[in-house]
Structure 1
Amino acid sequence: MSVWAVLEEADRPRWTYTPGVGVGPLVFGMSRHEAVAAMDGFVGDLAPAPRAIADTWLTRFRVPDRLPYRTAVLAFHDGTDGLFCVIVDAACGPQVTLDGLRLVGRLPSGWEAELFDYALPRGIQPVYAPTGDPGADELGIIMQVQRAGDHVLTRPALGVVRERANTLWDSLPYDPDLHG
């Protein structure tokens, strides 16, 4: 299987995202050990997060029998806030929905239009991160993109605004590999 392969929708687990609460089996605020226990069917590799402040941990979740070398979900924890950010891989991560709006593996332009159609009637003002990625702090979403062969697809960063942060962007762990 090619490194650029993208799983079909039918082959992806289905998760629901609830802003401020969690995504799939992952609940914001849970410990890194609770997250590993909650991710049935995934193997979690836990390590200190690269280029992060002290006591920030990254767990890379993968499905052992399908694309075993590919990370499907990244989960970031810190000692104060517990789980604060989940990033779902565009090519092999679960399909995540917010009120029926598909978040993972989409063409960015189509997703951006749907974000505005979803957010504006609810009084939510979409914003753009410094990288140009659209999102909404009230929804806890910054929609990053990920290369998949000759295309780019949506890779959502889902999280909560942490203490001492002004926006969701300020809350995301800094790693150039995660920001574009």
Structure 2
Amino acid sequence: MTNPWHVLTEAEREQWTYTPSVGVGPLRFGMSHDEAAEALPAFAASVSVAHRDVDRPTKAEFRNADVPFHATAVTAYFGSSEGLFCVVVDARNGPQVTLDGIRLVGRVPSRLEEQLMSYMLARGIAPQYAPTGDPASDDLGIVMRVQRAGDVVLSRPVLAVVRERANTLWDCVPYDESCVH
């Protein structure tokens, strides 16, 4: 039996970069699901509808083709008019994503929060917190959620663009993401 709490080491993770308002690794905000699948050729995808959201975006869960079905690495959300608007990287199975050298995935939340807040303050970006208490930034398009990995929690970044009809980045985070712990 495989360990459901297994966390990839840094050496086992693909290395991606995050550019706010542009994209995450090979994924670009605004691309279609087909374009995203083409950009991730080593990944298998399962596609569904995010049932809890009013506008019912398409939800694609990408996993490395040679791992169990439950080991999602990246979850991407696509709106009918704006295309890809949100990318969520799994704390246990996802690639390592960096923002100007700051590792965002699979980190101890308090250490990442300190580093992220210092980064924002040094750039004149006002620190924010999502209603859940998670560090966030509308300017950077990031909400730092957490995910359980056995007896610990690790960082699980939600990277997005503010959608039309939304007041804040938090308004754009699909409701399905509030159910992951």
- So what's the TM-score if we normalise by structure 2? 0.95
Partner of 1:173: 174
**1:34, distance to aligned residue in structure 2 (A):** 0.9
- Bigger drift between 46-55 and 96-105 goes to 46-55
Structure 1 Cα separation of the partners of residues 69 and 165 of structure 2: 37
Q: Which residue of 2 aligns with 1:60?
A: 61
Match of 2:141 in 1: 140
Any unmatched runs of 5+ in structure 1? none
Q: Partner residue of 2:117?
A: 116
Distance 1:126 1:9 in 2: 28
What is the alpha-carbon distance in structure 2 between the residues aligned to residue 149 and residue 16 of structure 1?
27
How far off is 1:126 after superposition? 1.4
Deviation of 1:68 (Å): 4.1
Taking the aligned partners of 2:10 and 2:68, their CA distance within structure 1 comes to: 15
Identity %: 57
Shift of 1:70: 0.8
Matched position secondary structure for 1:147: strand
Q: Distance in 1 between matches of 2:74 and 2:9?
A: 17
Q: Measure, in 2, the Cα distance between the counterparts of 1:105 and 1:143.
A: 11
Q: Which residue of 1 aligns with 2:100?
A: 99
**Cross-structure match for 2:29:** 28
**CA distance, structure 1, for counterparts of residue 115 and residue 79 of structure 2:** 32
**CA-atom RMSD in angstroms:** 1.1
Q: Which amino acid aligns with 2:179?
A: D
CA distance in 2, matches of 1:138, 1:144: 17
- Report what 1:150 is aligned to: 151
Segments of structure 2 that go 5 or more residues without pairing to the other structure are none
Residues 10-47 of structure 1: CA deviation (Å, up to 9, x unaligned) = 00000000000000111000011111111120001111
- 4+ residue runs over 2 A deviation: 66-69
- SS of aligned partner of 1:116: helix
- Shift in Å, 1:48: 1.4
Letter in 1 for 2:117: F
